[in-house]
Amino acid sequence: MRNLMVKLKYDGKDFCGWQVQNGLRTVQSVFQETLWDVLGEKTPIHGCSRTDSGVHANEFCVSFRTECSVPCDRLPLALNAKLPCDIAAFDCIQMPNDFHARYNCRGKQYRYLILNSQLRDPFLHARALWYKYPLDAEFLNAQAQDYLGMHDFSAFCSAGSDVQDKVRTVSQCGVRRLADNPDMLEFTVTADGFLYNMVRIMVGTLLQMSAGMLKKDSIPDIILSKDRNKSGFTAAACGLYLNKVLY
């Protein structure tokens, strides 16, 4: 019996998130059916996180135990021969017997892409947020530094979350304009964990600060308020990517 971790990337546009939901196309349901077909056994799978409908992943880790002897370097090839075009496996690693993709995760990095142009790009539809008003990347980056540190991020959690402990530690956060595409802004944030819609609310808050709808340097006060009504809107799912999983 081996304990394996497979790394996936997927375009979330046509998925209703990661977790299995009756009657809906989800990443988990599509991937596990393919995995079971390749392995010849129905083994439980464990995802590193839950991504919402429309959210993408550059790296998503799945662990499972199997008696199948397919070598690790061959399993991604076998999976990709059967997976649909919007999911791909790109690595497989044999892990210790007690490894669990979710419970052993020490942190994650998310990436949010904003097309900052007066003109739409059809090739970025559902893959980046189109925002036509001018944005100052240096200003946004300076404001984003106030997210750093250990805080109660209740003000950046959507209603409906049943998580009681909303304290998270953000270790990296920044905004930059991509050198190879000046119309594209990238927001990245790394933390030991994230709340429901936390990254999308962080982005929405920065955009409302840029628009003058929220005061400059107001993020510390918003955090202290623990009030969701004080922070910005929830930015669209299309620009969000799970970028790295940290173990």
If the chain, 247 residues long, is cut into consecutive pieces of 10 residues, what is the mean pLDDT of each piece?
Answer: 97 96 96 97 96 97 96 98 98 98 98 97 96 98 98 94 93 97 97 97 98 97 98 98 98
Integer angstrom CA distances of residue 32 from 76, 85, 178, 229: 13, 15, 35, 39
Helix (H) or strand (E) run with residue 88 in it: strand 87-95
Q: Is 12 left (phi over 0), alpha (psi -120 to 50) or beta?
A: alpha
What is the pLDDT, as a whole number, of residue 162? 85
CA 153: distance to chain centroid?
17
> Residue 192: what residue type?
D
Token pair for 84: 């649909």
- Asked if residue 174 is part of any domain, the answer here is yes
Q: Tell me: do 148 and 88 sit in the same domain.
A: no
Measure the CA–CA gap between 170 and 168, rounded to whole angstroms: 6
- Asked if residue 182 is part of any domain, the answer here is yes
Query: How many domains are there within the chain?
Result: 2
Q: Tell me: do 91 and 115 sit in the same domain.
A: no
Q: Tell me: do 85 and 111 sit in the same domain.
A: no
Place of tokens 């540190």: 149
What is the pLDDT, as a whole number, of residue 166? 96
Q: Tell me: do 208 and 115 sit in the same domain.
A: yes
- Asked if residue 11 is part of any domain, the answer here is yes
The percent of residues in the chain predicted with pLDDT above 70, rounded, is: 100
Q: Cite the beta strand spans of 67-208 per DSSP E.
A: 87-95, 107-115, 129-130, 149-152, 167-177, 184-191
- Least Cα distance to 5 among 66, 87, 85 occurs for 66
Measure the CA–CA gap between 219 and 230, rounded to whole angstroms: 9
Which member of 11, 37, 52, 192 is catalytic?
52
- Asked if residue 100 is part of any domain, the answer here is no
- Asked if residue 101 is part of any domain, the answer here is no
Q: What pTM did the predictor assign?
A: 0.95
> Residue 234: what residue type?
T
What is the pLDDT, as a whole number, of residue 159? 87
Number of continuous H segments (helices) and E segments (strands) in the chain: 5, 10
Q: Angle at Cα 170 formed by Cα 164 and Cα 176, nearest 5°?
A: 135
Name the domain boundary from 72, 95, 118: 95
Measure the CA–CA gap between 143 and 210, rounded to whole angstroms: 10
CA 112: distance to chain centroid?
9
CA 78: distance to chain centroid?
26
Domain that holds residue 41: 2-95
Name the domain boundary from 74, 95, 116: 95
Q: Tell me: do 41 and 117 sit in the same domain.
A: no
Name the domain boundary from 51, 68, 95: 95
CA 105: distance to chain centroid?
14
What is the pLDDT, as a whole number, of residue 123? 95
**In CATH, what number is assigned to the domain containing residue 53?**
3.30.70.580
Q: Strand 149-152 to strand 87-95: parallel, antiparallel, or no bridges (unpaired)?
A: unpaired
- Least Cα distance to 244 among 105, 124, 148, 114 occurs for 105
pLDDT digits over 136-168, tens only? 999 999 999 999 999 999 999 998 888 999 999
Is residue 52 annotated as a catalytic residue, yes or no? Answer: yes
